[in-house]
Every structure is written in C-alpha cells, then in structure tokens.
Amino acid sequence: MTLQEAYNFFESLKTETINKPEVKVYEKFLPLLSRLKNRAFSKDEMQSIETALDRLHLKSSPTNRKKYFKKALTEFEKYLKDSLSLTPKRYYTNLYGGLGLSFGLVFGVAILSNLEKSLGISLGLIGGMVLGSIIGRNKDAQVKAAGNML
C-alpha cells in the first residue's frame, strides 16, 4: 500500500464514520502520512515504508476499528522510529517528562521526606517533571535540527 493509498483510505474512513473516538485516531494518521508523503526518501526507504503499511493489514474489517487502528498507528510510529529514526513531535518531551515524574517521586520520598511528607513528594514530582521536560525539549530540538522529526 502506497502512502497516497493509505492517505485516501483514512480520509474515506474519516468521512464515513460518525464515531468521534474513531475520527480522532484517523486524524492522527492523516498528518503523519501527509508529512511522510512530503518528505524525500530513497527508493529502498519508500519500499520499506510501503511494506510496513502492508503488514498493518489496514484494509481488513475489524470489529473494533478504534482499537485496531490505534494499535496500527502505534506499531507504525514504532517502525518509523526504529528503522528510519523518525520521531513524532514532543516524543522526547513526553518520555523524559514521565521519567522525571518517576525519579522525582523517588527523590521526594527519599530525600525530601525531612519536610512534611506530602510537601516533599509534591516538590519532588514538580522538580522531576520540570527537569525531565527541559531535558526532553532539548533532545527534541536536537532531533529537529537533525531533520528526523515528523
């Protein structure tokens, strides 16, 4: 399945459904496919993208469309990240923000527990999230400068 065929397929699915959660999944696929269409790829890379789209079996008719296409979107984004080093916007910001929350919680419980317990946890969570988001934004900026952001 080519990128144009996949784009047309999701466009038709978007127009024929009335289920809002399904439409949201299709609206996540459409800009991704559009950005991939506008990007210059080698012949081998384009063929591998088309093969990955074929492996998703998009034209099958699943019973739960939202779940099926959401899973397909996740698999396709993972494929793009692993094989072509293409990451979606705010990928590292979200990743490092979550990691910052985890480490902030541990820091708040272990080290800031001298303060009132809930205050130490709160400060640890806030500090970890802020620090993780800053690191993630810097990483996203590096990826964008390298031209590997979708």
pLDDT in tens, the chain (150 residues): 888 999 999 999 999 988 899 999 999 999 999 999 988 888 999 999 999 999 999 888 888 889 999 999 999 999 999 998 899 888 999 999 999 999 999 988 888 878 787 888 888 899 999 999 999 999 999 999 998 888
Structure tokens given for 12: 């038709």
Rounded Cα–Cα distance for residues 88 and 99 (Å) = 18
Cβ(137)–Cβ(149) below 8 Å: no
Q: What is the pLDDT of residue 127?
A: 92
Q: What is the pLDDT of residue 31?
A: 92
Which residues, including other chains, have CB under 8 Å from residue 125's CB and lie 6 or more apart? 101, 104, 105, 108
Beta-bridged to residue 108, according to DSSP, are none
Q: What is the pLDDT of residue 67?
A: 92
Q: What is the pLDDT of residue 120?
A: 85
Rounded Cα–Cα distance for residues 121 and 132 (Å) = 16
Rounded Cα–Cα distance for residues 93 and 99 (Å) = 10
Structure tokens given for 24: 């949201």
Cβ(148)–Cβ(87) below 8 Å: yes
Structure tokens given for 109: 């419980």
